Amino acid sequence: MAKRVVVAGAIVNGGRFLAARRTAPPEFAGRWELPGGKVEPGETPQEALVRELREELGVEVETLERIPGEWELKAGLVLQAWWARLLKGDPQPLQDHDELRWLTPEQAFDVDWLEQDVPFVKEAQRRLTEVAP
């Protein structure tokens, strides 16, 4: 069976990255994630991430490189994360989220992340700490 991919974006801007608080489904409501969504048939993961972030947050992003690793969400469904650069727009919680926060590496774990996002958040924290002046 082919794996279905869900993409998440570590949107970086000014040494910080964006966290989004879920409103649904009920078991995830109130927990935080890197925003994104499912790759639709005929889309690349990068195209899906650009589309999802436009729909969910009202922003335009450029996908950069994939963050190593993937997380199995359930049978046949895996989460992959990508670095994304904010090109234009001020992120707003338009769909599936009720709050957004820009986090510095020091603030990375000030929110209650969904377990599947933790490895990617740790990598974002590591990378942003390494490049900080």
pLDDT mean by block of 10 residues, the chain; 133 residues: 89 95 93 96 96 96 94 91 96 95 97 96 93 56
* Residue 132: per-residue pLDDT: 53
pLDDT at 3: 86
CATH value at residue 102: 3.90.79.10
* pLDDT recorded at residue 1: 60
pLDDT number for residue 53: 97
* Domain count for the chain: 1
Three-state DSSP string of the chain: CCCEEEEEEEEEECCEEEEEEECCCCCCCCCEECCEEECCCCCCHHHHHHHHHHHHHCCEEEEEEEEEEEEEEECCEEEEEEEEEEEECCCCCCCCEEEEEEECHHHCCCCCECHHHHHHHHHHHHHHHHHCC
The pLDDT score that the predictor gives to residue 69 is 92
Per the structure, the complete domain to which residue 23 belongs is given by 4-131
Q: What is the pLDDT of residue 74?
A: 87
Check residue 17 and give its pLDDT.
96
Position 133 scores a pLDDT of 46
